[in-house]
Every structure is written in structure tokens, then in C-alpha cells.
Amino acid sequence: MYLKAIRTLWILFIIGVISMILLGFSLKNNWFNLYGELPDPSILENPKSELASELYSADGVLLGKYFRKNRTRSEYEDLSPNLLNALLASEDIRFRDHSGIDFKATLAVPYYLFKHVVLKGPKRGSSTITQQLAKNLFKIRREENLRGRLADVKGLNLVINKFKEWIVAVELETSYTKKEIITMYLNTVDFGSNAFGIHVASRTFFGVDPDQLSIPEAAVLVGILQAPSYYSPRYHPDRAVYVRNKVISQMEKYNYITKEEEQKLMAEEMVLNYNVENHNKGIAPYFRAEVVKDLLKFCKEKDLDLYADGLKIYTTIDSRVQKYAEKAVEKHMREQQALFAEHWKGQGEPWRDREGKVIPNFMGRAIKRTKVYRTLRKQIGNDSLAIDKQLKVKKKMKVFSWNSPNYEIDTVMSSYDSLKYYKMFLQIGMMSMEPKTGEIKAWVGGINYKYFKYDHVRLGYRQPGSTFKPFLYSRALEDRFQPCSPIVDIPITFTAEEAKSDKPWTPKNADRYSGQTFTMRQAMSRSINTAAAYLVKELTANELANYSADKFGFKFIRDKMFEYMLTDEDKKRGRTGYNKKPIQGVPSLCLGTEDVSVYEMVTAYSTFINKGVWTEPLFITRIEDKNGRVLKEFIPKKKEVLNEKTAWLMTYMLRGTSEEAGGTALRLTRYNFRRDQKTREDFHVAGKTGTTANFSDAWFMGFTNDLVTGVWCGGEDRSIHFRTIKYGQGARQALPAFAYFMEDVYADKKLTNELGYKRSLFPEPSKPINVELDCSKYDVENFGEFGAEPDSTLEDEYIQPTEATDGIL
């Protein structure tokens, strides 16, 4: 009887082995599509997992990532021994001995299942690290082509999936070394908190790289793998400590640590340095969001996936210069916002027309452009009363605030309240570029990317006011005019035909017509509108439009930008593309009526200091694949559009705004980068202020030998602005941001040593220009009875009102 029992067991064993072989064979060949396909062998040799693409600054700082799953690959050498020991002790102690399947653990499954169900013992699985890798890489249980007809048969489907994972695990073991398998595993697992892979998880939870993980930190991360949400150290710290200690106990059990070390480590407090990476955080968020459009276009042409292929993108942004720009914007905009709030205190609604009257139903129209309105419209339908009622319901929310360390506060507001609140914030766009190389070094598209995502550098088009005048003066210098050429400040009238309007147009100065005669340099420095009107009358508006578009790259940039892909956010906001509208040849163009971007203006101004060579702005230098192979290197287009003489003269003219009496940028003399306050030595800086009608837009364009920087400031809506030129002019609302920025840049000795940035004088022309530059004999006091108005910039904070403020909507 005993022999009969043994014989029966042998028969059952043989039947079991044959059944397993048959099942394996049928699984391998997917008979009648009962089981679903297995991953292609060629894929097994080169399995693909999504890797985040990384964006780097010129000085090697990681600016941000583009991902659907935030994953950055680590190599085996990057893994802490503490991490490897914790993983093996907890998940697969015989990992280095088996060939993908741990039969000892598998045969023990019934025993541990009985203990778990009947005796309420701990649940224990038998999957090896290799099997788990197979499941992570190929989604055997979820991908449709890997699921067969029996995929939904309960019980049987578990057996089929386990067999398939065994087969794939064995094939992985034949294709890779143990080091490669454990590295792939740690690069593919999900740790929760949008952290995929050990590199991102280490940075997310502890702020360190994987090779720096301590035993308790490694134990926390290994423990998370059992159930990322349940054991999250961020949201369930007690559970995380419990599972950490289980892992530490396993490490002691298998002699990775001593009993004394176990007790000490288990008693340690868990200390997190929790920081989830997202697109709202980090430096240069507006730049990262805008440059993605260029990257998507590149990836589409190359059949790449920006969000999964692990590209390395190297940019021209310098992280130090960028931080100085962001710091300058924050300092300036805090000051401006406080001033703006005080300015409008007790004055009623700020949205006003040109006559200063409140715009009817402004909020009613504005609320219809919001996401919350569109959502309610879908839910409720066309019942406007019901929608309006919901929009007025107060609810808890977080809103942006300059008065909080983390720039947000908890409050209770309705949708109408929050919209009105946000409409009162002034916005800014700032970009800085090296004129000789075209490399963009700083890009600040707004005051806070989390709450205000619209980019005011490349997307924002606003009227530039008097900052457009240098293009007119440049054309005049090419014609018959010189810096000392006299221009009389008297009214200039354009007929209705010339103005391309239904009535004649006579531009005004912000101040009175003086009747005085100014040199051309003085006229531009004081931003006298009648001088610009006189020049455009002499040269024609069409000539100015064509000259500006062709010489200074407006047409080139607009044609190129218009081709770029629109993001989903662009489509939601109803944008159809970048501004491709040609510059209009109308006389008012001389006062800056054409909408332009900061991006365009910085590029255009760089031509003057770059000896007449227009350089395409560059923000990506090269793109590499995940293995370091260079996919493309970027070289900017360059074109000589002005002769060196004209470019040098225009630079000299633009210096006048901070050198001539009454110059609109005399405020710059307060700052050390412009004037050494100890030695009183002056260094060269050129620039131009701009202010539009009703003070809707304030600009400052400035440059030194090293950087050309543009600043725009204003309300999101043109109807919301300061009411007086005292506060609304470019010299006060935009110029200080430029000055704060340049102060920090030139105070940084590392930038001097590494990038060569140093305050200095502009270079002399390479050849004699044979143009009279000493205009002292033409001083205003020698012409007419009025004399020059005294400059009060340094005495009382008030800039002489000489900006273009008439005829600009």
C-alpha cells in the first residue's frame, strides 16, 4: 500500500510536470489566442520604459523635466549598498541564485497562504524581482494584445498570468546580468507621489540621490513598494515607519546589519525632505513652458516622444542670471503692486475707458472667458441665472498673494470675487540676451507661473510706445540726419489720407509744444513726439514699417513663430497662433502703436550694440538622446542689416536717455552698474523708455556690452492701469526692474570670471565715422526763449512727462 501511494504521487507529479510543459508550450504559442501574446523577443532584448526628458541650463543646472511619468534613469553604480541590501532582504533574498523563478518560495506559497487566511498571519508573495520587472515592463496583465480569451476567467487568469511572467522572467535572465536586472527594476517601479524610479523617489522623499540613501531611508523606499499609497510617508507616516521597520528587521534576519543596529535604526525618527517635482516649481517656469513648443515641433519632425524618450536638452539660460532676473522682478513688482493698490484705494472700479469712465459689464464679459464659467455652462446649460448664482457662491480657495512667504493664502471667495481680485494684479515680461551670440540668458514671463501661466515674453503682444522710436531714428541716420541735426518742437499734422483714417491726426507731446529746437539726440532722449512725427513725415510711414520689419527681424520672427504647434492651453484660450500680422505703415507707428513682444524687441535692439548684425535669439544649444548621442546642435541665423556707422551712432543716441538733460532714463544714474557711487565714474548703458496712452503699457529697453534686456509692465487688461503719468510711465513702472537686475549681474564676480560680464564703456567704432558728435553748441538754451526744463529725476522721484501718450489705444 505504501508503494502504491508513492507510485500514485509519482504519477501525479509526472502528470503535473507534463501539464506544466504543455501549458508552457501552449502559452508560448498562444493556442487559439486563449492566453494572449507574449512580448516580442526583440523587445525583451531592449525593453523600453518612459523616461522624462530633462532641460539643462548653460551652467549645468537641471531646470526642469517633461514627463507623463516622472522617471530619471540611474545606473547600478548610482545605487547605495543600503538600498540593494534592503531590497534583497525584503523582496528576493535568493535573487543572485535563481534564474528568474524562486521555486523554493513558490512551493511555500500554499503554506503562507494558509497562515494568512486561517491564522491571520502576514501576507507573503513569491514573485522574484525579475518577475516583478517583467510585470512592470510589459504590463502582462493589462495590455490588450497580451490578454487572451481566458483573461477574464477568475482563478484561471491568475495562473496564466503567473506562467507568462515566469516565461518572460526566464528570458530576461538569459538576456541580462543580475546587475542590469536589479537596476532596471529600480528604474521602473512606482513609488507614488508622481515618482517613478529610484532616482526621482530619492529626490522626492529625501532630497538626495540614490547613492546617498541611509539604511532607514532605503528601508522606507523599499517598504513603499508594497503599496505606494497605503505606505506613503507623506500622507501616512505611521504606516511608513511600520513598513520601514519590517524591512530593517528583514535586513537583520539576513545578516546585513547586527541586532544592535536593528534596534537603533528602528528607533530613529523618520525625517522627510518632501518635494514633488511639477511644472509650477523651479527656476524659469515660463521659459520651460514656452520652449516646449519648439521641442514638440522638433520631436514631431524626428518621430520622438518628448515625454517618454529621456532626451537631454541643453539651453542658453544661465541659472544665476535667471535667478537675478526673477529676484529683480519680484522686488520691483512687490513695490509696484503696493503702489497700484494704494493708487486705486477708494477710487472705485479700475477698468476704465479712455475718458476715465467705468466700462459697463466688464466683469460679465470677463467671467465668460474663465474655465469655471465654461464648466458650469456644460453642467447647467444656457440658464444664465443659475450660472450666475453659482458664480457668486463663496467657497474656500487658495489665491496668489505677494504678502505670503509661499505666495499664496487661504481665503473664502466666490468666482466673481477671485476674478476681480486677480484683475488687479500688474503683470510683467522680462528677457535678457547676449547681443553677440544671441543666447538668451534670462526669461521671466510673469509674476507667478502657478497662478498666472500666460507668458508675457513671447506670447504677449503689447504696444511699445516710444521704445519703437529708435527704429525710426536709425532710418533717419541712414538718410540725411545726424545726432546734432536740429528738430523744432512744433505740431505736425497728417492729413486723413496720410493717417489712413477718417480725419487728420496731429500727435501731441505728453507735455506742451515748446517751440524749441532740439538736436536729434536730445529729442530722442526726451522722447519728444513731435520730433518723431516730423521724421516719419519726412521718411514716410510705409518706409518705417518695411524698414523695421526687415532690418530688425519682426517679419522673420513672426513667420517662424506662427509655424509652431499650439499647446492644449493655447487652444483652450482660443489662441490661433503667434502674431503674424505685418507691421502697419501708418504715421502713428512712430509712437509705437504696433503690438510687439518683448522677445521681438530684445532681438531688434541687440542689432545696435552688435555693430549692425541682427542675430536670431537662441535658447537651445543641443539635444541629445538618452544615451548621449547628439541629435541636433543649434546655430542662430545672423545677418548684417545696418552698417557699423549707423549701429554705433544709434548706440550713442540711446546713451543719451541717461546722459542728456531731461533724458527719460536719468534714473539709471542712481545705480552702481551705471555710475560708481564712490568714484562717480560713469559706465555706458543705452536704453529707451516707453509709455502708451492711458499708461496701459510701460516699457524699458536697455543694454550694456554684455546683455540686452527688455521689460514690459502693465495690467492683464489694457483698461486696468495707473491713472497718471507720474506712476504709469516706463521710467518708473519698468526701468527699475532692469536696474535691479543689472546691479546683481555686475556684482557677481563669478559671472565676470566665467562669462566675462563687466561694466564698461562701449567700444569705439573700428573706422572714423566723420560725424559731428559734440552738440553742445546746439544746446536748447541757444534756441528760442523757453530753455530746457530742469531735470528733477534725482530730487523728487518724478520723471519729466515726455513720453508718447497720445493717439495710442
* pLDDT confidence of residue 796: 27
Closest CA to 663 of 799, 779, 783, 780: 799
* pLDDT confidence of residue 94: 87
* pLDDT confidence of residue 392: 93
Read off the pLDDT of residues 447-503 as tens digits, 9 standing for 90 and up.
999 999 999 999 999 999 999 999 999 999 999 899 999 999 999 999 999 998 899
Displacement of CA 518 from its chain's centroid (Å): 45
Mean pLDDT of 182-190: 90
Cα 176 from Cα 352, distance rounded (Å) = 70
Closest CA to 298 of 623, 79, 74: 623
pLDDT category, 281, cuts 50, 70, 90?
A: confident
Angle between helices 259-267 and 237-253 (to 10 degrees): 170
**Residues 428 and 446: beta-carbon distance below 8 Å:** yes
pLDDT category, 167, cuts 50, 70, 90?
A: confident
- On the CB side of 225, CA atoms within 13 Å amount to 26
Q: What is the CA radius of gyration of the chain?
A: 34
Cα 701 from Cα 654, distance rounded (Å) = 10
The DSSP code sequence of 735-762 is HHHHHHHHHHHHH-HHHHHHH-----PP
For the ranges 91-105, 382-396, 452-466, 633-647, the lowest mean pLDDT is seen at 91-105
Asked if residue 539 has pLDDT above 80, the reply is: yes
pLDDT category, 544, cuts 50, 70, 90?
A: very high
Read off the pLDDT of residues 149-161 as tens digits, 9 standing for 90 and up.
445 555 555 666 6
Closest CA to 314 of 101, 775, 630: 630
* pLDDT confidence of residue 354: 85
* Element (DSSP H or E) covering residue 321: helix 319-344
**Residues 469 and 592: beta-carbon distance below 8 Å:** yes
**What average pLDDT is seen over the chain?**
85
* pLDDT confidence of residue 807: 28
* pLDDT confidence of residue 45: 58
> What DSSP state is assigned to residue 691?
E
- On the CB side of 607, CA atoms within 13 Å amount to 29
Q: Where in 327-463 does DSSP place strands (E)?
A: 395-400, 408-413, 426-433, 440-444
Confidence (pTM): 0.83
Read off the pLDDT of residues 287-320 as tens digits, 9 standing for 90 and up.
999 999 899 989 999 999 999 999 999 999 999 9
Count other C-beta atoms under 10 Å from residue 652's C-beta. 21
Question: Partners of 412 in the beta sheet?
Answer: 396
Selected residue with higher pLDDT from 509 and 415: 415
- Cell numbers at residue 65, please? 523635466
**Residues 523 and 454: beta-carbon distance below 8 Å:** no
In sign, the C-alpha dihedral spanning 291, 297, 302, 307 is positive
